[in-house]
Amino acid sequence: MIEVIVPCQRIYLPLSKDGIIPITIQSPPSGPKVITSKNESTLISSNIKLNSINPWFITGFTDGDGSFSIKVSKSKSHSIGYKVELVYSINNLNTPENNLLLKNILKTLGIEGNVISIRNNRICQFTITKMSQLEIIRRHFVQYPLQSTKRFHFEQWCIVMDLIKNKSH
């Protein structure tokens, strides 16, 4: 038996002896509608709203589209002449659904932030640099660990966070 998760519902599919899964998917009558313009098809849902998201989804989404960065830039106001800044961000294709998804991620994490459009309005993104909010991000990924090689990046990012907090950088 394989579990397939579709938004708002779960489907259990039996495996046949030859390993083929027969699937028939029907769209709900009140579900999303496809509106086609000259250049693109856009999936529009009539009930788009802010919702909390499963924390494991946030971890998986970050594994795919998120990043943990360490930004070093010149600075006249810092004694060594450089500023070290931690960054957590997620980028995605700029659609109304993805824009809302990023807002929902921020809401679920309890972080105030903005989703902005970049790269000629093709990409939506949020970027977190404030240390108090980065601590929330850290706690999330300690509780819901990353599964890909991004986990190593996160661990290195946490080491730098500790160095910054202890003013040892």
Average pLDDT value over all residues in the chain: 79
Please tell me which residue, 52 or 10, carries the higher pLDDT value: 52
Tokens standing for residue 134: 């980065």
pLDDT for res 167: 83
Is the residue at 143 inside a domain? yes
pLDDT classification of 51: cutoffs 50, 70, 90? confident
Note down the domain range covering 130.
55-169
Is the residue at 20 inside a domain? no
90: β partners: 66, 126
Is the residue at 34 inside a domain? no
Q: Does the pTM of the predicted model rise above 0.85? A: no
Is the residue at 117 inside a domain? yes
Q: Which of 3, 5, 96, 110 is nearest to 49 (CA)?
A: 96
- Domain count for the chain, please give it: 1
Is the residue at 29 inside a domain? no
Is the residue at 16 inside a domain? no
The top-scoring range by mean pLDDT among 13-17, 31-35, 71-75, 87-91 is: 87-91
Is the residue at 5 inside a domain? no
Cβ 138 vs Cβ 153: under 8 Å: no
Cβ 93 vs Cβ 121: under 8 Å: no
pLDDT classification of 48: cutoffs 50, 70, 90? low
Is the residue at 22 inside a domain? no
Query: Percentage of residues in the chain with pLDDT exceeding 70?
Result: 70
Give tens-digit pLDDT for 64-99: 999 999 999 998 888 888 889 999 999 999 999 999
Domain of 126: which CATH number?
3.10.28.10
